[in-house]
Amino acid sequence: MKFTKNAVGRLIPDEIEGRKLRPFQGAFVDNGGGKRTAPPIPVSKPGDKKLLSSLKEAIEAVGLKDGMTISFHHHLRNGDFVVNMVVDEIARMGIKGLTLFPSALFPVHKPLIEHIKSGVIRNIQGSMNGPVGRFVSYGGLPTVAVLRTHGGRVRAVEDGDVHIDVAFIAAPSSDDYGNANGVDGPSACGPLAYSAIDWQYADKVVVITDNLLPYPLVPFSVPATHVDYVVKVDQIGDPGLIVSGTTRITRSPTRLKIAQMAAQFIKESSYFKNGFSFQTGAGGISLAITKILADVMRKEKIKARFINGGVTKYAVEMLHEGLIDVLYDGQVFDTEAIESFKNDLYHVETPMTMYANYHSKGCLVNRQDIGFLGATEIDVDFNVNVNTHSDGILLHGIGGHTDVAAGAKLAMIVVPSYRNRVPIIKDKVTTISTPGETIDVMVCERGIAINPRRKDLIEHFKNSKLPIRNIQDIKKEVEGITGVPEKPKFKDRIITLIEYRDGTILDVVREIDE
């Protein structure tokens, strides 16, 4: 195998399993070019029926065959029943060697491991949160997996890197023609934004619902123009696991301290002014920053123009209070946010292309002022790992992390300095998920480190009372408490590629050596 060192110093094989790899060259080096891919030309006639009575019938109707690529989406999160039910049916039908192209898998999808072992699933391209990731880390998948960002996943489809043969879309509501939404029905989840690229580009699209409503269903996230078949099943998910009844702000004193420091940093920055924008999520620290920021905004009479979410009731309250004009929403985390998503004109769905596609004419993250992001590790070059833990095991997807970091004017990593006596700051992160050149600041409870590339920020904060420190110093201090943990041991075999949002390879993950 021939390797080339990429722009973040990782050795990337020139080719793997017949795919030629392009090593990462820098966050904004790629300039597009060439043509997008195109789906087949369909036809539909008055009287055509789409409603089928079973998954089996749908799988037959779309002509699923050995070796094809099928896609799924994670808007039902850990409450999803659809992935398992479809792959179980495919297995019963004796179809093998599939590539799974999910936007993300969750712990609920652990049964897929048996389908990998039996050869039904041959490859996975998509986030693997939890048990499937662990299984892949130990060499369980016979092929090399690919992890992409939210923006990278849609880019890969549009550019033709990934061809979806059949997209299966879990729909909390649908009519018999395939107009589907996520806001009505017992399994309501909010937007269906992850599925948008799939219904646009997949050869065949199957909507799976447990709540059939009269045609034409309005509002809709998926349009009937792009759906081949609709299947009604008993239940697409567990409502209690799809959205939480309540999202909660962290109560950890350390995490609250981090949130306060981050909020104060934002307040002192040049970005905190009328019309600013930020990204929030459902994580404990992120919610705490949002809440503290809201208080500061009230006090200083500053209004935000938009939040780019993951949306929770906290963001919705800010919208209703008038602290913010617009909520852009890729997924919601609680029932209040679903209600708002359904009814508020200024709470709009964000398909992933709109959110984060580098190969678009302008996505949302490009116009975002501030993003607060998590990390499993960060290194002294500000490279961030969100995929593997320090034990080297693949447990998380990339999500929009890398996209927001690239786009936001102020990309902040907000993390505790250690977790379970494992320090977060490393000489080199185990896996690079997001390149350091796109990270501006790290905030932990021991101090705030500004990326040396941001001379303007360092200058701006030189008289601040905030504990602005060198990242190396914070690292040493933490290691004085925790010690320096041993590095995980890997075999040679590459089990996963970490693809940057432009399609180049940022890093590889290797099989764990037990």
Closest distance to a copy of itself from the beta carbon of 29 (Å): 10
Closest distance to a copy of itself from the beta carbon of 291 (Å): 23
Instruction: Report whether the peptide linkage leading into residue 46 is cis, meaning its omega lies within 30 degrees of zero.
Output: no
- 296 near a copy of itself, judged by CB under 8 A: no
What is the rounded distance in angstroms from the CA atom of residue 389 to the CA atom of residue 343?
A: 40
Closer to a copy of itself by Cβ: residue 146 or 408: 408
Closer to a copy of itself by Cβ: residue 356 or 424: 356
- 359 near a copy of itself, judged by CB under 8 A: yes
What is the rounded distance in angstroms from the CA atom of residue 66 to the CA atom of residue 83?
A: 18
Single out the segment in contact with a copy of itself by CB under 8 A; choices: 226-234, 253-261, 442-450, 463-471: 226-234
What Cα–Cα distance (Å) separates residue 427 from each residue in 26, 49, 168, 354, 379?
20, 60, 42, 35, 5
- 358 near a copy of itself, judged by CB under 8 A: yes
Query: Binding to a copy of itself (CB under 8 A): which residues in 315-344?
Result: 325-326, 328, 342-343
What is the rounded distance in angstroms from the CA atom of residue 497 to the CA atom of residue 265?
A: 35
φ, ψ dihedrals at 58, nearest 5°:
-65, -40
Q: Which of 275, 452, 480, 483 binds a copy of itself (CB under 8 A)?
A: 275
Closest distance to a copy of itself from the beta carbon of 43 (Å): 3
Closest distance to a copy of itself from the beta carbon of 112 (Å): 29
Single out the segment in contact with a copy of itself by CB under 8 A; choices: 140-148, 212-220, 314-322, 378-386: 212-220
Question: Tokens representing 129?
Answer: 């949160």
Single out the segment in contact with a copy of itself by CB under 8 A; choices: 30-38, 82-90, 443-451, 455-463: 30-38
- 50 near a copy of itself, judged by CB under 8 A: yes
Closest distance to a copy of itself from the beta carbon of 188 (Å): 16
- 497 near a copy of itself, judged by CB under 8 A: no
Question: Which residue's structure tokens are 């799924």?
Answer: 72
- 1 near a copy of itself, judged by CB under 8 A: no
- 418 near a copy of itself, judged by CB under 8 A: no
What is the rounded distance in angstroms from the CA atom of residue 83 to the CA atom of residue 289?
A: 34
- 38 near a copy of itself, judged by CB under 8 A: yes
Closest distance to a copy of itself from the beta carbon of 105 (Å): 27
| Dihedral angle sign, alpha carbons of residues 429, 434, 439, 444 | negative
The count of other CB atoms within 10 Å of the CB of residue 248 is 12
Q: Which of 66, 67, 270, 346 binds a copy of itself (CB under 8 A)?
A: 346
Q: What is the DSSP letter of 142?
A: S
Q: Which of 136, 363, 450, 498 binds a copy of itself (CB under 8 A)?
A: 363
Q: Which of 101, 177, 272, 333 binds a copy of itself (CB under 8 A)?
A: 177
- 494 near a copy of itself, judged by CB under 8 A: no
- 32 near a copy of itself, judged by CB under 8 A: yes
End-to-end Cα separation, the chain, in angstroms? 24
Q: Of 340, 341, 420, which Cα lies nearest the Cα of 376? A: 420
Closer to a copy of itself by Cβ: residue 108 or 202: 202
What is the rounded distance in angstroms from the CA atom of residue 495 to the CA atom of residue 13?
A: 12
73 exposed, middle or buried (CB, 10 Å; 0-12, 13-18, 19+)?
A: buried
What is the rounded distance in angstroms from the CA atom of residue 328 to the CA atom of residue 487?
A: 40
What 3-state class would DSSP assign to 254?
helix
Contacts of 46 (CB under 8 A, 6+ apart): none
Q: Which residue type occupies 89?
A: E
Closest distance to a copy of itself from the beta carbon of 425 (Å): 26
Question: Tokens representing 73?
Answer: 């989406």
Closest distance to a copy of itself from the beta carbon of 40 (Å): 6
- 360 near a copy of itself, judged by CB under 8 A: yes
Single out the segment in contact with a copy of itself by CB under 8 A; choices: 39-47, 165-173, 312-320, 491-499: 39-47
Q: Which of 2, 18, 20, 40 binds a copy of itself (CB under 8 A)?
A: 40
Single out the segment in contact with a copy of itself by CB under 8 A; choices: 24-32, 93-101, 458-466, 470-478: 24-32
- 43 near a copy of itself, judged by CB under 8 A: yes
Q: Which of 306, 333, 372, 461 binds a copy of itself (CB under 8 A)?
A: 306
Closer to a copy of itself by Cβ: residue 445 or 499: 499
What is the rounded distance in angstroms from the CA atom of residue 402 to the CA atom of residue 467?
A: 26
Closer to a copy of itself by Cβ: residue 47 or 253: 47
Closer to a copy of itself by Cβ: residue 431 or 451: 451
Q: What is the DSSP letter of 290?
A: H
Question: Tokens representing 272?
Answer: 């905190």
- Dihedral (Cα; 104, 427, 409, 161), 10-degree rounding: -40
What 3-state class would DSSP assign to 295?
helix
- 39 near a copy of itself, judged by CB under 8 A: yes
- 159 near a copy of itself, judged by CB under 8 A: yes
Q: Which of 102, 397, 407, 423 binds a copy of itself (CB under 8 A)?
A: 407
Per-residue DSSP letters for 498-514? EE-TTS-EEEEEEEE--
What is the rounded distance in angstroms from the CA atom of residue 204 to the CA atom of residue 202?
A: 5
Question: Which residue's structure tokens are 């897929």?
Answer: 112
Q: What is the DSSP letter of 225?
A: G
Residues that bind a copy of itself (CB under 8 A): 28, 30-48, 50, 158-159, 177-178, 205, 214-216, 218-219, 223-228, 275, 305-306, 325-326, 328, 342-343, 345-346, 348, 353-354, 357-367, 406-407, 409
